Every structure is written in structure tokens, then in C-alpha cells.
């Protein structure tokens, strides 16, 4: 298959493909079968806030197909199959201006932020919990300016805040992946459910938003190329794939 025929398919995991443990997983087995029957057509990637190991664990738990690529830690790390480490060229691209030691202390000067556990942090991701009654995003941006720090501010589900290098995001990782495989961005398909998927949905690829999405994605309704499914989780992903591919 030529690169021009390859469909780069990138899907968030939590809330998009799978729901919380203990919940029913609508049409997850059908999604797995769908991918198995068409795998030669797709470069399959997952894009998640999880670390690589957490990603592998949840994929195994739900018996999901092994992806060709893992975009981990909200787009800050990219892994290409096997046991290889993160893509060095991507890490070198995003590291410019990144000062994690200083960013880890941001909550000391911004109300409404609590640093997440060490296991939730990454080499290029600083993560906080949001206390909605006290949190204001403009205070985060003001603190970054005051401290002469550069970072992308990514909020999701009204409860989580990630600080990333300015050059890093799920959307930037999608564009990087398409360029690396010489695959047309406008034929790529991305699926998500929350604010940390917003940049990916606006990357220039075809978008799918599942019905159980967070309210922060409602503003994308009516955007060209972005399909809002009326079905939740994996059922919505399947719905979106069939909508964009016409099958």
C-alpha cells in the first residue's frame, strides 16, 4: 500500500474507546473485530494522557488491538512499536524552552491547583488537579508570564490541568506522525472525548467526537470535518469511522 492510501487512525483511550472499569463497554468487541479485518488499511495509533506502560496495561485489560504507535502523556512522548524508547527526534523537537523543575512549583503561586502524584508526571508533562471553586486559567497564564516560563496549558474534564512544552500536544503529534509516514493529514482520522483531544480534533485531520464527550468540546460542533456521534465510547468510534470512510 502506498503512503497516499494509508489511513492514519489515532484514537484516545479513556472515555473514547473505553469507559471506567465496571461500566459496560458498548461494542468494544465489534471495534476490535472491525480493526482486525481492516488492519492493512490503517496505521493505528492511540493518543492518551497515560504513560506508555499504563497504556499497554489498559489495552491488555480490554483486549484491544496492539497499536502501531503510542502517543503517550498528552502528546509529549511517541513510541513506535516493540520495546524501543521514545522517539528521539520528537523529544528533541519539543524540549526547547522546557523548564520542568520550575513548572512543578507553579501551584505554590496559583490557587486551585494541586500537584498530581509522581506516577502521573512525565519528562515533558506536569500535571495538576483542579479545584473548580478556586481555579482560574487566566491566573495560570499570568503566573507563567510573571515567572518567564513557556508552556502549553491543557485543561480536561474540568478536573485536570497539564502543562506541556509549547511545541507538544496530541495535535502536533498527529501532524508529526503523518509527515513521518508521508500520509495525507486530511485523510487521517482522530477520535476524542475531552479538552486534551481538542488540539488533535483541530489538527486538520477528520475528527470524531463520541456522545459521552466533555462539555468543553461542544464548541467544535459545526466545524468542517468533525463528526459528533450520537453513540458513546467504542460504539461512537465505530460510528465515526464508518461516517468518514463510508463503510
> Which of 164, 179, 194 corresponds to the end of one domain?
164
Same domain, 89 and 112: no
- Can you give the CATH number for the domain in which 128 is found? 3.90.1070.10
The predicted structure's pLDDT at residue 134: 87
Please state, as a whole number, how many other Cβ atoms lie within 10 Å of the Cβ of residue 199. Answer: 22
| Cβ–Cβ under 8 Å, residues 35 and 42 | yes
Neighbouring-strand partners of residue 207: 190, 226
Q: How many domains does the chain have?
A: 2
Please state at what angle helix 233-245 crosses helix 28-38, rounded to 10 degrees.
40
Dihedral angle over CA of 15, 19, 21, 24, nearest 10: 180
For 121, the domain range is: 97-164
Give tens-digit pLDDT for 39-56. Answer: 889 999 999 999 999 999
Same domain, 104 and 214: no
The predicted structure's pLDDT at residue 20: 82
The predicted structure's pLDDT at residue 135: 87
> Which of 123, 143, 164 corresponds to the end of one domain?
164
The predicted structure's pLDDT at residue 52: 94
| Cβ–Cβ under 8 Å, residues 171 and 75 | yes
Same domain, 121 and 104: yes
Same domain, 48 and 159: no
Same domain, 139 and 104: yes
The predicted structure's pLDDT at residue 70: 97
Same domain, 134 and 24: no
> Please, what is the Cα angle at 96 between 90 and 98, to 5 degrees?
105
- Can you give the CATH number for the domain in which 186 is found? 3.40.50.1000
Same domain, 144 and 178: no
The predicted structure's pLDDT at residue 1: 47
- Dist. CA 238–CA 30, nearest whole Å: 8
| Average pLDDT for 113-141 | 93
Would you place residue 133 in the very low, low, confident or very high pLDDT band (cuts 50, 70, 90)?
Answer: confident
> Which of 139, 164, 189 corresponds to the end of one domain?
164
**146, pLDDT greater than 60:** yes
Q: What is the pTM of this model?
A: 0.92
Same domain, 68 and 185: yes
Same domain, 157 and 66: no
Would you place residue 149 in the very low, low, confident or very high pLDDT band (cuts 50, 70, 90)?
Answer: very high
Same domain, 200 and 131: no
| Cβ–Cβ under 8 Å, residues 177 and 45 | yes
* DSSP collapsed to 3 states, 103-163: HCCHHHCCCCEEECCHHHCECCEEEEEECCCCCCHHHHHHHHHHCCCCCEEEEECCCEEEE
> Containing H/E element for 174?
helix 170-180
The predicted structure's pLDDT at residue 4: 60
The predicted structure's pLDDT at residue 205: 97
Give tens-digit pLDDT for 58-112. Answer: 999 999 999 999 999 999 999 998 667 899 999 999 999 999 999 999 999 899 9
Same domain, 20 and 79: yes
Same domain, 178 and 192: yes
The predicted structure's pLDDT at residue 5: 81
Give tens-digit pLDDT for 152-208. Answer: 999 998 899 999 999 999 999 999 999 999 999 999 999 999 999 999 999 999 999
The predicted structure's pLDDT at residue 81: 80
Amino acid at each position: 500500500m502506498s503512503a497516499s492510501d494509508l489511513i492514519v487512525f489515532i484514537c484516545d483511550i479513556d472515555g473514547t474507546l473505553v469507559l471506567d472499569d465496571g461500566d459496560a463497554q458498548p461494542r468494544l468487541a465489534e471495534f476490535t473485530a472491525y480493526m482486525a479485518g481492516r488492519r492493512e488499511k490503517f496505521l493505528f495509533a492511540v493518543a492518551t494522557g497515560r504513560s506508555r506502560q499504563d497504556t499497554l496495561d489498559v489495552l491488555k485489560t480490554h483486549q484491544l488491538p496492539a497499536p502501531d504507535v503510542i502517543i503517550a502523556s498528552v502528546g509529549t512522548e511517541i513510541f513506535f512499536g516493540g520495546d524501543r524508547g521514545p522517539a528521539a527526534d520528537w523529544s528533541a523537537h519539543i524540549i526547547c524552552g522546557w523548564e520542568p523543575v520550575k513548572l512543578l512549583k507553579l501551584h505554590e503561586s496559583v490557587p486551585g491547583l494541586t500537584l498530581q502524584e509522581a506516577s502521573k508526571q512525565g519528562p515533558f508533562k506536569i500535571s495538576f488537579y483542579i479545584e473548580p471553586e478556586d481555579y482560574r486559567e487566566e491566573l495560570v497564564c499570568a503566573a507563567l508570564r510573571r515567572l518567564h516560563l513557556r508552556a502549553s496549558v491543557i485543561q480536561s474534564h474540568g478536573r485536570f490541568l497539564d502543562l506541556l512544552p509549547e511545541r507538544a500536544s496530541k495535535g502536533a503529534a498527529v501532524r508529526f506522525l503523518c509527515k513521518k509516514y508521508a500520509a495525507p493529514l486530511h485523510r487521517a482520522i482522530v477520535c476524542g472525548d475531552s479538552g486534551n483531544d481538542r488540539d488533535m480534533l483541530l489538527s486538520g485531520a477528520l475528527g470524531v467526537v463520541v456522545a459521552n464527550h466533555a462539555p468543553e468540546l461542544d464548541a467544535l460542533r459545526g466545524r468542517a470535518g468533525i463528526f459528533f456521534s450520537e453513540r458513546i465510547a467504542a460504539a461512537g468510534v465505530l460510528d465515526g469511522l464508518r461516517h468518514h470512510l463510508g463503510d
